[in-house]
A and B are shown apart, each in its own frame.
Chain A
Amino acid sequence: MDLDPEDVFKDEEDGSDNEFFQQSASSKEYVVYLVDASPKMFNTTCPGKDQKDETHFHLAVSCIAESLKTQIISRSYDEVAICFFNTREKKNLQDLNGVFVFNVAEREHLDRPTARLIKEFDCLQESFMREIGSQYGIVPGSRENSLYNALWVAQALLRKGSIKTADKRILLLTNEDDPFGGLLGAAKADMTRTSLQRAKDAQDLGISIELLPLSCPDEEFNVKVFYADLLGLDGEDLVQFMPSAGQKLEDMKDQLRKRMFTRRIIRRITFDITNGLSIQLNTYALIRPAVPGAITWLDSVTNLPLKIERSLICEDTGALIQEPPKRFQPYRNENVKFSMDEISEMKGISTGCLRLLGFKPLSCLKDYHNLRPSTFVYPSDQEVVGSTCIFIALYRSMLRLKRFAVAFYGSSSHPQLVALVAQDEVAKAGVQIEPPGINMIYLPYSDDIRDVEEIFPDTDDDAPRADEDQIQKAAALIKRIDMRDFSVSQFANPALQRHYAVLQALALEEDDIPETIDETLPDEEGLARPAVVKAIEEFKLSVYGDNYDEERDFLGKGKVGEASRKRKTIVENAVKESANYDWADLAENGQLKDLTVAALKTYLSAHNLPVTGKKEALISRILTRMGK
């Protein structure tokens, strides 16, 4: 059920099984960043971070750098090229003037981003003037058209790969809304026409061109002057363009580092409604715990990957076992053996399809009926025409009647009872938040449910119950600490974000690790608001009376006392014991290894260090502690 993260990118039949899914067909993205490097980009500034002004060029480059850093984690199989135009030097396959394709060693022009690319791109600004240089490419009297050239180079870079398997995009960053403004008459008309034609040719090839305009402080970028024609904008799109473009630029800078997965069917399953009525469903994993990605073992000397070989050794004879061994379970003083076939036969209790058993009201699905992340189910007419129709009918009935279906999902690894809960489509501002379909929730068996509540009942009395006043106070408290707009998954996983930040810092050999913010911490400021504090105090008073603190202290002493006293005595003893040795001297002379493990442990416990591990581990821990 769980998919291997790497596997996702392998060639697999995509979910484009009907005309509705066409838009998501391609799984890769090829992007060419086309950055205007004209002097105007350097001369105009805008307020940046830390209240300092930064040039448009700097802004564009840092946006791309941030975006690359995100991309290398989230979609590292996408390919990028970075290309400047209006440059002094030229570097491109077509040998066109005023266009410079930036690249680093061991990388094609359009290729997956590498650490080296990101690192050198980060340092580019210092060397830019020296090595690439800025110069207007479109000047009166010259036949050169750097914009035209740039589009041509970008299009040539994107020649790679089929439009079916990859999305191709050109991202144009400029602050010049009228590139041919300096020209007059026929020359202007001619250049405008050829540039538009070039853009149109590219678009006809399936390449989309996007513009990220940078506005000057005193004058907004006027997209109508030239670029509206180039992008083919009109009507509503044109009005919406500027606000949405600004947002896009912001988004580029602050994206979440998150591995993206292309949508993929995990499994096609048959849903047996009754005999002779079986429809086809596709299952998707919409919610799965994100993991940092697979690790590879390396040889620390050469940094080359290692291969892992598994061998089975007979403990009695030491012989290598080649064939897959039988399994056994000790039982009644003997070993009961099972062949692998037998085991899979025992597990295979159903034919692998989903069988409808009946329906129950939603209230029967309790909060503790859960084991694993749910799976999303959506119908498909690919093999059985008519599946979608039945599915929609049942889906609507379940939604309306507030019922869920109970079915048996006989997968070979995890045959399980499942609840099929219909989910209505939820959309906010035109964006789908919850897709329509059915969520398959895996139900526990009685073997999986533990009756822990029943282990501590007070035998003599009934359990205490809160009275009306206490409940009222609790309700007031709940009202005060209300997160009105909470939506599931509004928080980033702090450990994962930290992981990526560290990885990036180490990969790019950055000196300091960027700070990651733990969004999951409670809002202390909000909790300190007087109204909240008052509600809390009132609740406290109604339940605990005046002696909340006393009671806690008392309880705290009684409870913690026992365990901590024990710990304390151990430490005290250890301190005493360890004083018998001259640790510094022993360490100096390498005599630590002559001590017993028990003796070593006294030092460790005296210094509040972990005492686990082999002797070498203990010694190295002591040495580290001593700073050696």
Chain B
Amino acid sequence: MARNKEKLVLLLDVGPSMHSVLPEVEKVCSMLVEKKLIFRKNDEVGVVVFGTEETNNDLTKEVGGYDHIVVLEDIKVVDGDLIDTLQKLPRGTVDGDFLDAIVVGMDMLIKKYKDIHKGKKRLCLITNAVHPIKDSLEGTKEDQVETIAAQMTAQGMKMESVVVRGRLSQDANKRIMDENDRLLSIFSKQTLTRTVYVDSPTSLLGALKTRRITPVTVFRGDLELSPDMKIKVWVYKRTQEEKFPTLKKYSEKAPQTNKFATHQVKVDYEYKTVDGASKVVPPEQRIKGYRYGPQVVPISAAEWDAVKFKPEKGVKLLGFTDASNIMRHYYMKDVYLFIAEPGNTRAILSVSAIARAMKEMNKVAILRCVWRQGQQNVVLGVLTPNISQNDKLPDSFYFNVLPFIEDVREYQFPSFNSFPVSWQPNEQQQKAADELVQMLNLAPSGKEEALLPDYTPNPVLERFYRHLELKSKQPDAAVPPLDGTLKRITEPDPELFFENKSVIDALRKHFELKENPKLKKSARRLLREKPSGSNDEDGDADVSDAQAVNSIEKALVVKIEKIGDLTPVQDFEVILSRRDSPEWVGKAIKEMRDKILGLLSDSHEGDNHLIAVECIAALRKGCILESQNHTTIFCAILTCIASRKE
């Protein structure tokens, strides 16, 4: 454990231009420390902020300069206080100098650890880098950065810089930004620095890896192209689901006074005979039974061992094939990464040559893999090239597991062309859909791609860790609602949808949805519950969510001017509540009357009557609410309806 202790210094820009994103910086940093408290208790963390009014760091005392940089926390083993500090970052008043901050951070690491712990020392810089750094006394800024980078490499330090840009720093000086980007790119080229540009608070939360998992190889050995041609490779997991933590069960049986109670719960399984006696059967008397038709065949583990399939360990090439032969949805599992054995130049070259040739020819390779000796099954999958964009990193392959015949269920579905014409979109409808697909663009050119999986945090985990921290202070705290930043993951971006309102309106105009009249009432759930924004079958989803949905809906539907077929009652209420013109009340009532009459006259065997009655009820309520005068109108309408009914 101890040898993997990470030593981290957070360098946080708190200058005025960063204030808008500081809440997210606070969240992501406290999350980082919180996860360390749970998973890596021995890691050490220090915190430096820059852009503050005050100055407090060793270097300024020793050599002067390095103004507006404050060491908030010296490097120490993570503890709860650190989180408290990070949750209340000071708001700075001056524009900070990130390069000075890097030097201060390096100085802290060097002083504390000398040159031991190579590769375990890390700096993490969060800034928008929109302000110029000071000119150096000797040489250019570039020279200065290069000196620092060389020192960083010599000390075995890594750096991660998250640069907040885009929407979050619109009116910055382009020239300065470019200069800073160039300086930061020197770090990326010459040291082990990962630089990430983010343009939304949501991706800021995801850009910084809050939990580091030491990667473990799945396989080390030969990638066999043929019996005579083997390439040494190492295989890692590229993706693996980070699960919701399994919480231990808590026992309340121990008396309150018992300080040493573990409160743990042991889960005990007993295997009992089904007959009346319910006798417990000891483990050695149990045997596994396998279904064969209606019977169950008992087969002991020893019997299986003697005869079961035992493949030899190894990764073998079956052949290459066109990439188009493998459809994307056949990928079965999480993804592996094949890299050439580190340090083995020939292997790296072989992988590079094959990967590049595959990319050029648009080919993929099919492999048969047995990762470990004694593995009970073979894995069949597809190897796709991963051409490295970074000069430092060698080319590699991704590997995705493909299904066997048994895994594919060949269900037939009718072709869309065979559907009746009424189910097929007409030309205008198709055009409206095309517009939508084109305009609701999450990856516009020139901007960062929104909701890139690599920078999108898991909202459930975010919420859990925040709640955990909150509960440790207030044991009876309620689960906090998803904040706006996380909502960007679970709900459409109102800004994007607002910009494309015309496209969406067109879509709504061209397509009409209605409840299936033939369906039994009890089965109707879909349309009825949607408009009011209430939760459907998931009764346990929280109310705060629903409210949020409501507010967004209000923002979007506020312009409703007509009562539609879909949600007449809601539309009516919305129009009625419009206060921008006195005409709306009259218009709403008139529209509603027409709607009700329309519903009644179009009704087949009374299937619309229910909706009509609902509308009448809403109309009545609305009329009473508006004024006395309108109630008489309502009565008139009612008589009118009654006469029509005759």
CB distance from B245 to the nearest CB of A (A): 6
Known: A325-B265, A360-B443. A287 touches B330 (CB 8 A): yes
| Residue contact A444 to B453, C-beta cutoff 8 Å | yes
Residues of A within 8 A of B298 (CB): 298, 300, 303
| Residue contact A351 to B538, C-beta cutoff 8 Å | yes
A283-299 interface with B by 8 A CB criterion: 284-290, 292-299
Interface footprint category on A: 35 or more
| Residue contact B491 to A408, C-beta cutoff 8 Å | yes
Quick one: which of A325, A353, A450, A470 contacts B250, CB cutoff 8 A?
A: A325
Complexed CA–CA distance, A310 and B291 (Å): 24
CB distance from A338 to the nearest CB of B (A): 6
B436-487 interface with A by 8 A CB criterion: 436-438, 440-443, 449-461, 463-464, 467-469, 471-472, 475, 479, 482, 486
Quick one: which of B349, B453, B469 contacts A443, CB cutoff 8 A?
A: B453
Quick one: which of B264, B403, B514, B535 contacts A287, CB cutoff 8 A?
A: B403
A403 within 8 A of B: yes
B625 within 8 A of A: no
Beta-carbon contacts of B41-78 to A below 8 Å, as 1s and 0s? 00000000000000000000000000000000000000
* Selected interface stretch from A57-65, A131-139, A242-250, A274-282: A274-282
| Residue contact A367 to B335, C-beta cutoff 8 Å | yes
B229-277 interface with A by 8 A CB criterion: 229-230, 232, 236-242, 244-245, 247-254, 258, 261-275
Greatest chain B CB density within 10 A among A24, A313, A374, A393 is at A393
A332 within 8 A of B: yes
Complexed CA–CA distance, A520 and B492 (Å): 45
A164 within 8 A of B: no
A465-498 interface with B by 8 A CB criterion: 465-466, 470-475, 477-479, 481-484, 486-496, 498
A527 within 8 A of B: yes
The chain B residue with its CB closest to the CB of A20 is B414
Quick one: which of A357, A491, A503 contacts B442, CB cutoff 8 A?
A: A357
Complexed CA–CA distance, A364 and B530 (Å): 32
| Residue contact A507 to B407, C-beta cutoff 8 Å | no
| Residue contact A357 to B454, C-beta cutoff 8 Å | no
Known: A280-B526, A361-B443, A462-B391. A321 touches B251 (CB 8 A): yes
| Residue contact A492 to B406, C-beta cutoff 8 Å | yes
CB distance from A497 to the nearest CB of B (A): 8
A366-388 interface with B by 8 A CB criterion: 366-374, 376, 378, 381-388
Complexed CA–CA distance, A113 and B407 (Å): 24
Quick one: which of B244, B388, B542 contacts A348, CB cutoff 8 A?
A: B542
Complexed CA–CA distance, A443 and B334 (Å): 10
A576 within 8 A of B: no
The chain B residue with its CB closest to the CB of A21 is B414
| Residue contact B436 to A482, C-beta cutoff 8 Å | no
A452 within 8 A of B: yes
Complexed CA–CA distance, A292 and B265 (Å): 33
A423 within 8 A of B: yes
| Residue contact B327 to A329, C-beta cutoff 8 Å | no
Beta-carbon contacts of A511-527 to B below 8 Å, as 1s and 0s? 00100101011111001
Residues of A within 8 A of B515 (CB): 383-385
B393 within 8 A of A: yes
Beta-carbon contacts of B385-426 to A below 8 Å, as 1s and 0s? 010101111111010101111111101111110110011110
Complexed CA–CA distance, A466 and B549 (Å): 53
| Residue contact A298 to B286, C-beta cutoff 8 Å | yes
| Residue contact B405 to A483, C-beta cutoff 8 Å | no
Known: A331-B38, A449-B453. A263 touches B353 (CB 8 A): no
| Residue contact B273 to A392, C-beta cutoff 8 Å | no
B173 within 8 A of A: no
Known: A350-B490, A392-B423, A490-B405. A386 touches B339 (CB 8 A): no
Known: A256-B405, A290-B406, A314-B253. A398 touches B437 (CB 8 A): yes
Complexed CA–CA distance, A410 and B293 (Å): 38
B640 within 8 A of A: no
Known: A368-B398, A370-B239. A492 touches B405 (CB 8 A): yes
B121 within 8 A of A: no
| Residue contact B443 to A452, C-beta cutoff 8 Å | no
B113 within 8 A of A: no
Further pairs besides A316-B262, A454-B192, A466-B353: 6, Cβ < 8 Å? A298-B298, A307-B274, A350-B541, A359-B442, A366-B453, A453-B337
A sample of 23 cross-chain residue pairs with beta-carbon separation below 8 angstroms, ordered by A number, consists of A258-B405, A313-B267, A314-B253, A317-B251, A349-B463, A350-B541, A350-B545, A357-B442, A358-B441, A368-B386, A389-B422, A390-B433, A395-B416, A398-B437, A443-B453, A446-B455, A449-B454, A455-B215, A459-B191, A489-B405, A499-B309, A536-B229, A543-B346
